[in-house]
Amino acid sequence: MIELSQDQIDQFNDDGFLFVDNLIDEETVEEIKQHYELMFRGTFETGIRPDEVNWQEGTSDPSLTRQICNGWKGDRAIARVVLREDIGRACATMGGWPGARIKVDNVLWKPPGTRPLGMHQDSAYLAWINPSDMISCWIALDDTTADSGTMEVVRGSHKWRHSKPEGEFHGPEDYQKYMLQAAAAEGIDEPEVVPVVAKKGGGSFHHGWTWHGSGFNRATFPRRSLVSHCISSESEYVPENIGTGTGPMYGRYMRHGDRAMGEDYFPILWTRDGHRSPWIDGWLGAA
């Protein structure tokens, strides 16, 4: 169970990120890695294809990071981590929200030699949601080093002016380009880029406006990670912006004339008044 101290919350607010050990145990790490093998071959335990399957064995560019979005829909081993109540509580606490729901997860696998993921701000893609602030829990499934293509976060960048989405996300030539432009606009010549160096099962939380990304995996071992991206339990659709950012993908779940984000698609993990989407725990226990 994740229990954050006030010092940790203050550090998150200052830096825009927080490193945390032992988010999941070794048995869970190994189970998830086995399920990654299946998912990137197109086998989904629930029979449901996740919203975005951006890499499949035998058909996709091997130099790119393997990515699936909303793997929780396709695999219950993934869901048992992504939909954890304590992850939602931690994100809501740091965000100052009344509760937290899942917007999306990322199933990520960077084999040796794979190319960067461009630095970006997650919330820049969420103008179709209000409030659009996001807090993410990034969990390492392998021990990471600074040269293994681990995620890099930029200290204090959540306090910079908000930038619009720009550039190529998968495999850009200069993965820090747009972050450096944003830093220059703040009068910062040398932004502090911090690699997330963690033991497997550990990881980090980061704010939706914190610049982050990852470089080449120059190590001889893979870097696998699982990310839960949370938004406020009170977030609603902004219909006039549904065509922006990731809205064209996830706006499909919007009901006509209704701004509410349905809990079937964006489940609530935790709220201060004790609400959690009632279907979650039964579904996670299903065989």
Amino acid at 95: G
| Domains of the chain by start residue, with CATH | 6-284 (2.60.120.620)
85: confidence class by pLDDT, cuts 50, 70, 90: very high
Average pLDDT, the chain: 96
- Let me know if 52 is exposed, middle or buried by CB neighbors in 10 A (0-12, 13-18, 19+): middle
User: Across residues 196-204, what is the average pLDDT?
Assistant: 98
pTM over 0.85: yes
**Tens of pLDDT along 238-251?**
999 999 999 999 99
User: Across residues 24-48, what is the average pLDDT?
Assistant: 97
**Tens of pLDDT along 141-177?**
999 999 999 999 999 999 999 998 887 888 898 999 9
286: confidence class by pLDDT, cuts 50, 70, 90: low
Q: What's the rounded Cα separation, in Å, for the pair 132 and 249? A: 16
